[in-house]
Amino acid sequence: MGKRQFILGILLASLLGGVIALGGYQIFAEKEEPPFESFEEKQKVVFSRFEEGNAPKVVVPEGLNFVNAAKIVTPGVVHIKSTYDESEGYASKNPIYDYFGFGNPNGRKSRATGSGVIISDDGYIVTNNHVIENASEVKVTLNSNEKYEAEVIGTDPTTDLALIKIKDQNLPFVKFGNSDELEIGEWVLAVGNPFDLTSTVTAGIVSAKGRNINILRDSNGRQIESFIQTDAVVNPGNSGGALVDLNGQLVGINTAIASPTGSYTGYSFAVPVSLVKKVMNDLKEFGAVQRAVLGVGIAELDDPSIEEEVDELKGVYIRSVGPGSGAEDAGLKVGDIILKINGESVATVPELQENVAQNRPGTKIDVTYKRDGKVNTVTATLKNVENSFAIVKKEQPLKIDGAVFANASERDKLRLGINVGVQVKMLDDGKWEKAGIKKGFIITKVDKESIDNLAEFKTILKEKEGNITVLGIYPDGTKDYYTVKW
pLDDT in tens, 372-411: 999 999 999 999 988 999 888 877 788 888 899 988 877 7
Say whether 369 sits in a helix, a strand or coil: strand
As a whole number, the mean pLDDT across the chain is 83
Write down the catalytic residue from 239, 268, 274, 325: 239
- Residues 460, 451: contact at Cβ < 8 Å? yes
Q: Quick one: pLDDT at residue 456?
A: 87
348 in the same domain as 419: no
Judged against a pLDDT cut of 90, whether residue 81 lies above it is answered with yes
Write down the catalytic residue from 79, 130, 156, 274: 130
Asked, for residue 5, whether it belongs to a domain, the answer is: no
Which of 257, 290, 323 is the last residue before a domain boundary? 290
Asked, for residue 280, whether it belongs to a domain, the answer is: yes
Query: CA neighbours within 13 Å on the CB side: how many for 285?
Result: 11
Question: pLDDT tens digit string along 61-78?
Answer: 766 789 999 999 999 999
pTM to 2 decimal places: 0.75
Contacts of 182 (CB under 8 A, 6+ apart): 188, 206, 209, 228, 245, 251, 272
Judged against a pLDDT cut of 50, whether residue 95 lies above it is answered with no
CATH code assigned at 376: 2.30.42.10
Helices 349-357, 273-286: axis angle to 10 degrees equals: 40
278 in the same domain as 259: yes
More confident residue, 441 or 210: 441
With CA atoms as reference, report the closest residue to 192 among 83, 99, 73, 67.
73
pLDDT band at 17 (very low <50, low <70, confident <90, very high): low
pLDDT band at 11 (very low <50, low <70, confident <90, very high): low
Q: Quick one: pLDDT at residue 157?
A: 86
Judged against a pLDDT cut of 70, whether residue 28 lies above it is answered with no
More confident residue, 446 or 56: 446
Task: Report how far residue 89's alpha carbon sits from residue 108's, in angstroms, rounded to the nearest whole number.
Answer: 7
Domain count across the chain:
4
Q: What is the dihedral of CA 319, 223, 153, 209, to 10 degrees?
A: -110
CATH code assigned at 260: 2.40.10.120
Contacts of 422 (CB under 8 A, 6+ apart): 398, 405, 406, 407, 408, 442, 443, 451, 453, 454, 457
428 in the same domain as 351: no
Judged against a pLDDT cut of 50, whether residue 98 lies above it is answered with no
* 239 catalytically annotated: yes
Average pLDDT over residues 299-315: 86
Task: Report how far residue 314's alpha carbon sits from residue 302's, in angstroms, rounded to the nearest whole number.
Answer: 10
Q: Which domain holds residue 45?
A: 14-54
The CA-CA-CA angle for residues 200, 157, 83, to 5°, reads 60
232 in the same domain as 129: yes
* 160 catalytically annotated: yes
* 79 catalytically annotated: no
Say whether 373 sits in a helix, a strand or coil: coil
Report the percent of the chain where pLDDT is more than 90: 55
CA 462 from centroid of its chain's CA atoms: 41
Other Cβ atoms less than 10 A from the Cβ of 314: the count is 12
173 in the same domain as 247: yes
> What pairing do the DSSP bridges indicate for beta strands 200-211 and 250-257?
unpaired
391 DSSP assignment? P
Which of 262, 290, 318 is the last residue before a domain boundary? 290
336 in the same domain as 233: no
474 in the same domain as 357: no
Asked, for residue 418, whether it belongs to a domain, the answer is: yes
Q: Quick one: pLDDT at residue 296?
A: 95
Write down the catalytic residue from 85, 160, 245, 412: 160
Question: pLDDT tens digit string along 331-359?
Answer: 999 999 999 999 999 999 999 999 999 99
Asked, for residue 393, whether it belongs to a domain, the answer is: no
249 in the same domain as 152: yes
Query: In 232-363, where does DSSP find H-type helix?
Result: 273-286, 326-330, 349-357
156 in the same domain as 44: no
Judged against a pLDDT cut of 60, whether residue 18 lies above it is answered with no
303 DSSP assignment? -
Say whether 16 sits in a helix, a strand or coil: helix
Asked, for residue 9, whether it belongs to a domain, the answer is: no
324 in the same domain as 238: no
Asked, for residue 1, whether it belongs to a domain, the answer is: no
Q: Measuring CA to CA, how many Å separate 253 from each of 114, 196, 228? A: 12, 18, 9
177 in the same domain as 40: no
Asked, for residue 388, whether it belongs to a domain, the answer is: no
Question: pLDDT tens digit string along 120-153?
Answer: 999 999 999 999 988 889 999 999 999 999 999 9
Q: Quick one: pLDDT at residue 250?
A: 96
196 in the same domain as 71: yes
Question: pLDDT tens digit string along 287-296?
Answer: 999 999 999 9
Which of 33, 54, 75 is the last residue before a domain boundary? 54
Asked, for residue 211, whether it belongs to a domain, the answer is: yes
Average pLDDT over residues 471-476: 92
